[in-house]
Amino acid sequence: MTESTFDDFVQGRGRALLRFAYVLSGDADLAEDLVQEVLARMYRRWDRVTAMQHAEAYVRSAIVRQFLSWRRRRSAREAILAEVPEPAGVADPYRAEPQQRVLARDEMWRLLAGLTRAQRAVLVLRFYCDLPDDEIARLLGCGESTVRSQTARALARMRTILGQEAAHGER
């Protein structure tokens, strides 16, 4: 094994892997733990990993599996990262003012925190990583119909949360 290729990979792609784990988990400390644990396991067999056609995809799937693992479950619910002081009300967050983009992002974090780990993983893989259903199914070890149903349930749950907040005058 060439240690330099592993070091090069970590230096070149480490930040992207950390961002991916953060979007997946919503917790900076957990994201660091996920990436560190997966990379420590990958180091021992790096020659086999780099022999694969898409080494980074393999590492990302290991991060997802570790995130979904029962050993990673916390007894307490995930904490809400930020309270949104006012409704974002932004039709297109990419064309909004910086403050409105921050509010929209905070609202998305809060909504993602209300989902199960599996639902969150499916949404992150679909909308953050832009993967099709068949690749998500392969990564998660389930059927495409499961991916579609998890996506539908996650989006329905997010709509329900928004509807409840609107009915109570929150957000």
pLDDT at position 126 is 92
Average of per-residue pLDDT across 166-170: 73
Residues with Cβ within 8 Å of 166's Cβ and at least 6 positions away in sequence, in order, are none
98-167 has which fold?
A: Arc Repressor Mutant, subunit A (1.10.10)
The chain-wide mean pLDDT, for the chain, equals 81
105 — pLDDT class (breaks 50, 70, 90): confident
What CA–CA distance (Å, rounded) separates 155 from 135?
20
Residue 46 contacts residue 58 (beta carbons within 8 Å): no
Q: Which of 161, 78, 147 is nearest to 116 (CA)?
A: 78
Average of per-residue pLDDT across 141-169: 89
70 — pLDDT class (breaks 50, 70, 90): low
Distances in Å between the Cα of 109 and the Cα atoms of 19, 112, 117 are 14, 5, 13
Average of per-residue pLDDT across 46-52: 86
Residue 162 contacts residue 84 (beta carbons within 8 Å): no
pLDDT at position 90 is 45
> What single letter denotes the amino acid at residue 110?
R
Spell 104-132 as b/e; 16+ CB within 10 A means b: bbbbbebbbbbbebbbbbbbbbbeebebe
Instruction: Tell me the whole-structure pTM to 2 decimals.
Output: 0.67
Is the pLDDT assigned to residue 5 strictly greater than 90?
A: no
Q: What are the structural domain ranges in the chain?
A: 3-72, 98-167
